[in-house]
Amino acid sequence: MKKTSIANRLSVVFLCAALMTACSDTSAVDDTGTAEAGTANEATAELASLKVEDMITFDEEDRNTEWSAESAVTIELDGANAQINGTGAEAADGSVIITSPGTYVLSGTLSDGQILVDTAEEELVHLVLNGVDITDSDSAAIYSKGAGKTVITLADGTQNKVTDGKTYVYEDEASDEPSAAVFAKNDLSINGTGSLSITANYKDGITSKDDLKIVGGTINIDAEDDGIVGRDRLAAENGTVTIKAGGDGMKSTNDEDEDKGIIAITGGTFDIEAENDGIQSEKSLLIDGGTYNLVTGGGSANAEVKTENNPMGQGRMNGNGGMMRGEWNGESAPTAPSGTANPSDEASNDEAAGTANTTSANMTSTVVTAAVTSTSASTTTDTAASTSDADNAEDTAADEDESTSAKGIKAGGDMVITGGTFTIDSADDAVHSNQNISITGGEIGIASGDDAVHADLLLSISGGTMDITASYEGLEGADITISGGKTHVISSDDGVNASGTDTTSGTTDTAAETTETPEATGTTAREAGASASGTPEASSAQAPETGEAQGTASGEAPAAGERPAAPANGEMPSGTPPQGGFGGGGFGGGMEGNQNAKLTISGGLLTVDAGGDGIDANGSITMTDGTVIVNGPTNSGNGTLDYGSTFDMSGGYLIGAGTSGMAQALSDDSSQLSIAMTYPETQAAGTLVHLEDSEGNTIVTFEPSKDYQFVVISSPDLAKGKSYTLYSGGTSSEDVSGGWYKTGNYEGGTEVVSFELGETATTWLNESGVTTGNTNGGFGGGRR
């Protein structure tokens, strides 16, 4: 994707879009991590202070719909002529020119002419559309060229129509104004209870070069390019707006002044179908109410299929750059070399064998934006992800100023959503900010061809309900905090991804992606190389030709200081992986991770159905309260949990079921206990997981929605030294929420294993009892 941060007075400027795999961190890591922590705290404080009333106000003039025929100038349009009763306006050459402030009531039809407001005084001109049909074949139908402010009132019970031409004739070649069917070089407000239909054949429907406010009325726009543009500010508090746009639906475009380029909406109904972005601001975007039905870029079904590209077929290096412990048919797996550096240190492939660089240096890094068909470019830049080809990178940079995107709601600065009802179907991200996002309320339904909600910096969710029915990644941000609300995520890749920022380059670490044809299955490269049972299968990726790892793939340990060999043709070492296998890395497991990437959960309900990692943080996860339920993945190249450094849990409930291939549980020093169970074979979706204590008290009854071989459960009801029994199958009479049966009777299940919780945070299990395990990922589950 393309993402370029834009200066904003409310937050720190960051760049974004570093290339990396979804479960790996190949960027350099700042050892201190202090800058990122400060940034997140500052952003949280700034977001809490953002208020619509501080951004824009509606005054008496904006809301005034009153007029009378006795005090106003009336203008009756009649083809190429106009009958004017009063002073301050004149008819000329088939147009009407208003030269004085005041109230003007217009009715009738103007067949090929313009309503031109051109006053010498910087005062108010009030236009009342009382049933008009205005067409101008070579310019804007209504053009406010010189006034302090223009207010258009749609008279009660009237239908009004405005149409411009496909080409404009300007006074001189250097001019590009007007550029919309209704165009104002000054502040423009629209109010009333009547209707206005606009056919914008040239470019935009309605444009104000200053502030544009929608106070009321029913507005229907069919625009060649953008629907509504308020350059400095765009605000709405009421009205019904329907837009079909070849470019963006609604936008604010000032990227020069710190306090401008803002959108603030407190109410109204917005039905927008746009080839590019639905609602887009260069700076801050605040929504505190309203109803939104947004379709962008043809919708999520029109997006390109995206996959991760990992030439190993599956698996990720661990924090030490090597493979974790485990055995292959009794033989020791290749061990990490001593002195291995972070995989992000891109040592040359020409260096001698034994260098610290891992095979991740050979991973292809390409990010592709969602498919869009419009020729009109969105003015907020979505930064281009780089490719390994320098020429492609140059082409990308050249396109940054005018790039297309098809996002639902997009902000170059901070975004705050405190209310409203949203239905978003987007080819690109549904909700996107180049800086921070705060969601404290509202009902949000999303189907996205890319990320459902993406913040380049902080993503904060503290309230509201969100139902994500389709996405590539569900929630993504450098840092993510969830403290309330109900969020349901369905994703083809990661459900939640805290990607972190690279302090050395000022970028956000995001997933490396490639595209497939629409006929593709949508599985990732890692997924394609792993079976549902957790046994790795062959991949078509090739080992690096230069700087190759030493040793063999058969299980022979390399000499000290040498890297383990890359498996031939992407295959994993021969033999059957153990229960617990590679544990945390090597060809499986999470990176040590950006320490600045943080996922913090302190409340709310989060349910995830993921094709990739369920919960992914390149750095750390902290959970103090709330409920997290994860279903998936079913491929062994991803894990239910995936974190780079630590997962500390001190409260709340965590229930997850997925593949055992990359299994992780809580960190060893987590203060709340958990169990991590690896089954000997894949369990069918819908097979209940029931955990109870020795007295028969239910700890958890859970119905996974996908096939699974690994289950992780953490509950404040678990206690050290107590005995528990895990059952499989059976039925429960209780009410289910996200697959979790909270109350009722469980019966008919089959005992899988009985055990006693030990001293460590996570008790690793298989059907034989307690095992050893590793919380760093890999072909997890612990070994016997």
pLDDT in tens, 741-773: 887 789 999 999 999 998 899 999 999 999 986
- Please write the tens of the pLDDT for every residue from 260-306: 999 999 999 999 999 999 999 999 999 999 999 999 999 999 998 87
- State the amino acid at position 292 in one-letter form: Y
Cα separation values, 782 from 332, 584, 586, 759, Å: 15, 11, 16, 16
What's phi and psi for 333, nearest 5 deg?
-70, 160
**pLDDT score for 173:** 82
Domain annotation covers residue 250? yes
- Please write the tens of the pLDDT for every residue from 460-492: 999 999 999 999 999 999 999 999 999 999 999
**pLDDT score for 594:** 58
Q: Taking 50 as the threshold, does the pLDDT of residue 425 lie above it?
A: yes
Residue where the block lists tokens 């063999």 = 552
Q: Taking 70 as the threshold, does the pLDDT of residue 592 lie above it?
A: no
Do 393 and 387 contact (CB within 8 A), yes or no? yes
Domain annotation covers residue 117? yes
**pLDDT score for 20:** 32
When pLDDT is cut at 50, 70 and 90, the band that residue 520 belongs to is very low
Q: Taking 70 as the threshold, does the pLDDT of residue 417 lie above it?
A: yes
Q: Taking 50 as the threshold, does the pLDDT of residue 598 lie above it?
A: yes
Domain annotation covers residue 401? no
- The residue among 357, 593, 428 whose CA lies nearest residue 497 is 593
Domain annotation covers residue 284? no
Q: What share of the chain is helix, strand, coil (3-state, %, to 5)?
A: 5, 40, 55
Q: Count structural domains, the chain.
A: 1
> DSSP 3-state assignment of 373?
coil
> DSSP 3-state assignment of 234?
strand
Domain annotation covers residue 226? yes
**pLDDT score for 462:** 95
d(CA 571, CA 272): 48
In this prediction, residues 493-499 reach a mean pLDDT of 97
* Sequence-ordered list of residues with C-beta below 8 angstroms from that of 80, at least 6 positions apart, any chain: 94, 110, 111, 112, 113
Three-state SS for 680-700 is EEEECCCCCEEEEECCCCEEE
Domain annotation covers residue 93? yes
Provide the terminal-to-terminal Cα distance of the chain, rounded to the nearest Å.
44
When pLDDT is cut at 50, 70 and 90, the band that residue 162 belongs to is very high
Per DSSP, helices labelled H in 444-591 are 525-528
> DSSP 3-state assignment of 396?
helix
* Beta bridge partners of residue 578, listed in sequence order: none
The pTM score is 0.76
Percent of the chain having pLDDT more than 90? 61
d(CA 105, CA 128): 5
Domain annotation covers residue 541? no
* Sequence-ordered list of residues with C-beta below 8 angstroms from that of 638, at least 6 positions apart, any chain: 22, 23, 494, 524, 526, 527, 610, 611, 612, 613, 632, 658, 659, 661, 662
Q: In what order do the strands lie in the sheet with 501-502?
A: 18-20, 507-511, 501-502
Give the CA angle between residues 602, 607, 613 to the nearest 5°.
95
Q: Taking 60 as the threshold, does the pLDDT of residue 583 lie above it?
A: no
Q: What is the DSSP letter of 470?
A: E
**pLDDT score for 772:** 82
**Which of 127-131, 172-176, 353-357, 594-598 shows the lowest mean pLDDT across its residues?**
353-357
Residue-averaged pLDDT of the chain: 77
Joined tokens for residue 157: 């019970």
When pLDDT is cut at 50, 70 and 90, the band that residue 502 belongs to is low
Cα separation values, 400 from 1, 382, 396, 547, Å: 11, 7, 7, 35
User: Taking the alpha carbons of 510, 512, 517, 518 in that order, is the dihedral positive or negative?
Assistant: negative
- State the amino acid at position 755 in one-letter form: F
- The residue among 749, 647, 659 whose CA lies nearest residue 698 is 749
Domain annotation covers residue 191? yes
Joined tokens for residue 680: 């000997």
Joined tokens for residue 39: 């940034």
Bond prior to 518 in cis (omega within 30° of 0): no
Q: Could you tell me the residue range of the domain that residue 178 belongs to?
A: 60-256
> DSSP 3-state assignment of 445?
strand
Do 751 and 662 contact (CB within 8 A), yes or no? no
